[in-house]
Amino acid sequence: MRYVVGYTANEQGRDALNLAGVLARTQHAGLDLVLVAPEPSPYTAVYPPERGYTDLLDEQLEAWRTEALGLVPADVHADAEIRRADSDAQGLMDAAEDLDAGLIVVGAAGNSIFQRFTVGSVANALLHASSVPVALAPKGYSRTAPLTRITCGIGSRPGAQDVLDAAVEAAARSSLPLRLVSLVALDAPAGKDEAMAEASRHAKAVQAKAEALAGGRCPVSAVVAHGRTIENAIDELDFDKGEIMLIGSSRLAQNHRLFLGTTASKVLRSLPVPMVVIPRDDGAHPAGGPQHTTEEIQ
């Protein structure tokens, strides 16, 4: 199993590399560090006509490549390459396809003092086009130890089964606890009890399905988190420092592609741990239970 890591020689790149190391250690995967550089062109200011500039740029890129490899934990196998592309996101997606990678890991650009996740242009492009899952490292992510738990946002819309399958497989591979979370936004008091009862029934049904898929390889629990908004619901949850959350792509996504929907964006703004977004598959079936009338994951 291989993971592509979008590396840049800054804090964002180190966040991505730290998260990739944690995931690799937990899932017994290898890393492919990818530094994306612009395609050479005489028509852009990136490559001015001065003699020797391209050589200097190549030397700097090679220095960054060597630096990136030096930051990888000794017990994680990693390769690194410099890839030319029209954009960073395209370069990473091309690398994932060429290397048959199961995941792209990037750092979330953090310009906000108050939010750990403020998705930058590269992450945003990946979250609306990638054909493989994308992992986002929050600003300042410095963990090195393996994961301690996987949380999965569950819903009942198309694509829910893909997220559940991915979460069960990831948890079972390393015998990690799997927590299934149904997030319900109750912006109006009317119908609150009915909505919570429906969400609870659905969560129990999905838990039973996950336990059957896991076959005893990992413990599975389920919880319904609610609040006035999705952000409030996330705030009500307790997260381990060594945890990640898996969430599904929006129903608006093309088949086998990502598209970060409104609910997932709200989760991302409040989430204190890394997020992994799973592409949808039109052939998937809901993970049990009826359509919720309240706003919910998926």
pLDDT for residue 171 = 97
pLDDT for residue 227 = 87
pLDDT for residue 268 = 82
pLDDT for residue 127 = 84
pLDDT for residue 46 = 55
pLDDT for residue 284 = 37
pTM, 2 dp: 0.85
Residue type, 86: D
Nearest alpha carbon to residue 224 among 297, 281, 298, 143: 297
Compute the 3-state secondary structure of the chain and give helix, strand, coil in percent, each to the nearest 5.
35, 20, 45
pLDDT for residue 48 = 56
pLDDT for residue 250 = 60
- The owner of tokens 């629990």 is 221
DSSP 115: -
In sequence order, which residues have a C-beta less than 8 Å from that of residue 131 and are 6 or more positions away? 93, 96, 97, 256, 257, 258, 279
Positions of the chain with pLDDT under 50: 111-115, 252-253, 255-256, 282-298
pLDDT for residue 213 = 97
| Cross-sheet strand order for the sheet of 149-153 | 78-85, 30-38, 2-6, 103-107, 134-137, 275-278, 243-248, 149-153, 178-185, 220-227
d(C-alpha 63, C-alpha 67), whole Å: 6
Nearest alpha carbon to residue 223 among 187, 183, 259, 256: 183
pLDDT for residue 43 = 53
